[in-house]
Structure 1
Amino acid sequence: MNKSLFADISLLFVALVWGSTFVLVQNALSFLEPFSFNGVRFFLAGLLLFGWLCLFQRHQFTYINKRLIFSGMFIGFWLFLGYAFQTLGLLYTTSSKAGFITGLSVVIVPFLSYILLKQRPNILAIVGVFIATIGLYLLTMTDSASLNVGDAFVFICAAGFALHIIFIGKFSKQFPTLLLTAIQILTVAFLSSIFAFLFEDWEDAFRTDVLLTGEVIVALVITSIFATAVAFFIQTNFQKYTKPTRVALIFATEPVFAAATGYFWAGDRLSGSAIFGCLLILFGMIFAELPKKNMLFQRKNAM
């Protein structure tokens, strides 16, 4: 199995983990507010990663310098921006619209990738993105409410997630994976904690009757280990073997896994258009992976 294919499979596993934990996070947020939850979640994940570094990868600390620290914090900032504006947008718009607009990162990535990294997506990737975007619309847009300020906030969130994908692709080739992942995770924890202090009842994050609630414990353990520490380590490690546009397409399957999890775990029901949307997302991802012989749009400066 070549590195590119293995990277795609690993990133698809990340989308599966994120999608399948959506219900858990929703349940936990009824006890702990979003920034507080993310502050604890990312802090625990950061401690886990640094603990692993200290025990098994101590040699990576020799690579620490200002450039590595800045790169990790820079990546972490865009990740935090995505979470922050998604949370802010949900105060003013519906979850279905937020899901669709967040998924538009699949459209934003190819354009920013070309501008920032000088990578031209091939024609199959462009068609795949178009198909997946239609699928996202059918899966998530269950209402026809007009646009509002919340939608603008969520669009900034989509741009933040898109830039996170792009800059991981840029910096993951230059620095040790585990160390770079730990720094970006702790950056999100730090910024989330600041926003929790400013805008939420941050004291809840220190109340044992809240933290020891079954829903919160389960959500924190699973999301901090699998959906944060493991997932972002996989993304940082394997994205160097693939292209940002392909990563965005793979991550577009997250709402598909979320819908499937909601169906089996929470009793949610999908409409016919939503099911068709799921199929279009999967088809768009597969279409972009078809052989690209004789394509006109290839990566600039390709050999």
Structure 2
Amino acid sequence: MALCWGLNFVVEKHVLLTITPFMYLGFRFFLSAVVMAVIFHKRLKTISKEDIIAGLIVGIFMLLGFLTQTVGLVYTTPSKSGFITGSNVVMVPFFAYLLTKRFPGTSQIVGAIITFSGLGIISISDNLNIAYGDILTLLCAMCFALQITFTEYYVKRADPINMAIIQVALAGIVTMGMTIIREPFSLDFSLEIWAAILFAVIFCTAGAFLIQNVAQRYTSSTHAA
């Protein structure tokens, strides 16, 4: 899962040279939701109120994370985007504390200091300005940290697969809706672009969030991050 997401930074950067961030996310999440709903259509018949609430709450943070990450990637490099997004690892223990009251350990506090020092070094320019893309990507990292934290909280109370379908469907409906409203709709992409979108659909979205939600039933948000 981590390997797919890492590779996807490079793939996304290439795709965003051809289509807009909203169109890319619209196709990515809408198609992922369709794939997941088709595969797990029998399971959806048992969906509960808890599944829906959990999926919507986690889905909001996931949606905001991908919106800020994808738009930010237009204004920064894949390597910087990957590093800054990865800083969510050190944010998770602090957000988890707000829900669980488990205070972060010394190693996690030291790790956070080192990570944010590194963020400052790579993001602040000579004139002490922070790049627009880096700011968006830092917001993305915060949203992903909250997504992971709330996933840990809800997967023990809701069905993780139904929850994943709801969160991906929410992102698909919102981003596809924004695409249709804001931009001329098109399906006329090259095979290379469609291949990149399908890679993101199967491995980086549908597969990844199903695995993450199920796995977080058996591990902490800190380990998942």
In the alignment, does 2:58 pair up with 1:48?
no
In the alignment, does 2:130 pair up with 1:147?
yes
Q: In the TM superposition, what is the alpha-carbon distance from 1:45 to its structure 2 partner?
A: 1.0
Aligned partners of 2:223 and 2:204: how far apart in 1?
20
Match of 2:76?
Answer: 94
Match of 1:226?
Answer: 203
Match of 1:80?
Answer: 63
Match of 1:190?
Answer: 173
Aligned partners of 1:142 and 1:189: how far apart in 2?
34
Match of 1:247?
Answer: 224
Q: In the TM superposition, what is the alpha-carbon distance from 1:128 to its structure 2 partner?
A: 4.7
Match of 1:253?
Answer: none
Gap runs ≥5 in structure 1: 1-13, 249-303
Name the amino acid aligned to 2:45: F
Match of 1:177?
Answer: 160
> CA distance change for structure 1 residues 102 and 144 in 2, over 3 Å: closer, same or farther?
farther
Match of 1:203?
Answer: 185
> CA distance change for structure 1 residues 172 and 154 in 2, over 3 Å: closer, same or farther?
same
Name the amino acid aligned to 2:185: E
Aligned partners of 2:110 and 2:31: how far apart in 1?
40
Q: In the TM superposition, what is the alpha-carbon distance from 1:118 to its structure 2 partner?
A: 1.7
Post-superposition Cα deviations, 1:108-133, rounded to whole Å, max 9, x if no partner, equal 21111101222223334444555566
- Larger displacement relative to structure 2 (19-28 or 43-52): 19-28
Per the alignment, in what secondary structure is the counterpart of residue 94 of structure 1?
A: coil
CA contact under 8 A between 2:124 and 2:130: conserved in structure 1? no
Number of aligned residues: 223
Aligned partners of 1:79 and 1:160: how far apart in 2?
7
Post-superposition Cα deviations, 1:250-274, rounded to whole Å, max 9, x if no partner, equal xxxxxxxxxxxxxxxxxxxxxxxxx
Q: In the TM superposition, what is the alpha-carbon distance from 1:137 to its structure 2 partner?
A: 6.9
What percent identity do the matched residue pairs reach?
Answer: 35
Relative to the length of structure 2, the TM-score reads 0.85
Match of 2:17?
Answer: 30
In the alignment, does 2:94 pair up with 1:111?
yes
> CA distance change for structure 1 residues 228 and 107 in 2, over 3 Å: closer, same or farther?
same
Gap runs ≥5 in structure 2: none
Q: CA RMSD in A?
A: 2.7
Q: In the TM superposition, what is the alpha-carbon distance from 1:155 to its structure 2 partner?
A: 2.8
Aligned partners of 1:59 and 1:102: how far apart in 2?
32
Aligned partners of 1:153 and 1:59: how far apart in 2?
36
Name the amino acid aligned to 1:36: M
From 24, 39, 45, the counterpart of 1:61? 45
Name the amino acid aligned to 1:41: R
Post-superposition Cα deviations, 1:227-247, rounded to whole Å, max 9, x if no partner, equal 111111111110122222222
Relative to the length of structure 1, the TM-score reads 0.65
CA contact under 8 A between 1:125 and 1:245: conserved in structure 2? no
Aligned partners of 2:76 and 2:7: how far apart in 1?
20
Aligned partners of 2:155 and 2:92: how far apart in 1?
17
> CA distance change for structure 1 residues 243 and 121 in 2, over 3 Å: closer, same or farther?
farther
